[in-house]
Amino acid sequence: MVEDSNPIKLFSVFLKSLMTQPPEPNGFSQPPLDDFLQSSAANQSKSSTILDSSTILDWVVASLGCGCFSIILIGILAAIALPVFLRNPIKAKQAQAKLDINLMNRAQQAYRLDHPKFADSLEKLQVGVQPETENYRYRIIPQSDPSKSVMMTAQTKKPDLKSYTGAVFMLKKGKDDVSVAGVCESDRATLIPPAFPTPPKSDKEGVLCPPGSKRL
């Protein structure tokens, strides 16, 4: 058992132990390197130190105490994680807006099944989306024929966030009326939501988002 707590000595002992008793891939141990080179040695000393995984881990952790490896490791991790960390808040805020506008779309589809026209207010949809949050303003914009289409917008209040437009259309499918919904995301951060998308020709197609935006 190694009693010296000096991290450099611990690491040296660890390396020496690995050199004198390397593990075999098949799980069997191999004679020490000196015994292998000296054919006169017949048996491995019974007093050889046996390393278990916990001892190795302790030595590795202790060896990092010198600070050399720690500083390098922290620098590498920071270089990788910092850009991701900086982007995550923006993605999280936009993800919430996408979730809200999709909820509004689905709620409009359900509302239209029970009513002759789409809802013209968030209160009627009853989905828990607030008209205004810290990052976005949500609006329902009725169209010229509120029985056939409706437009919803998630307009950002921050210049580094994208804006969104949701739309629901009623289409004919034989004798039945079916609804088709879609969400358009602005290509870049902007305070202006995308314009009203073009309705699809059938329920098998998606809405056609205007230039400067893409369909989600």
pLDDT digits (tens, 9 = 90+) for 60-80: 455 455 555 555 665 676 566
**Predicted local distance difference test score (pLDDT) of residue 174:** 86
Residue 76 included in any domain: no
Residue 57 included in any domain: no
**Contact partners, residue 177, CB within 8 Å, separation at least 6:** 170, 171
Residue 195 included in any domain: yes
**Predicted local distance difference test score (pLDDT) of residue 31:** 47
What is the number of domains present in the chain?
1
Distance (Å) of CA 137 to CA 42, 96, 190, 205? 83, 12, 13, 29
**Predicted local distance difference test score (pLDDT) of residue 47:** 42
In the chain, which stretches have pLDDT less than 70? 1-75, 77-87
**Predicted local distance difference test score (pLDDT) of residue 45:** 44
3-state secondary structure of 34: helix
**Residue 148: what residue type?**
K
3-state secondary structure of 20: helix
**Predicted local distance difference test score (pLDDT) of residue 204:** 87
**Predicted local distance difference test score (pLDDT) of residue 173:** 87
**Predicted local distance difference test score (pLDDT) of residue 50:** 43
**Predicted local distance difference test score (pLDDT) of residue 30:** 47
**Predicted local distance difference test score (pLDDT) of residue 192:** 97
What is the domain extent for residue 109? 93-215
Residue 189 included in any domain: yes
Residue 194 included in any domain: yes
Torsion angle in degrees (nearest 10) through CA of 40, 44, 46, 49:
130
Distance of alpha carbon 179 from alpha carbon 167, whole angstroms:
10
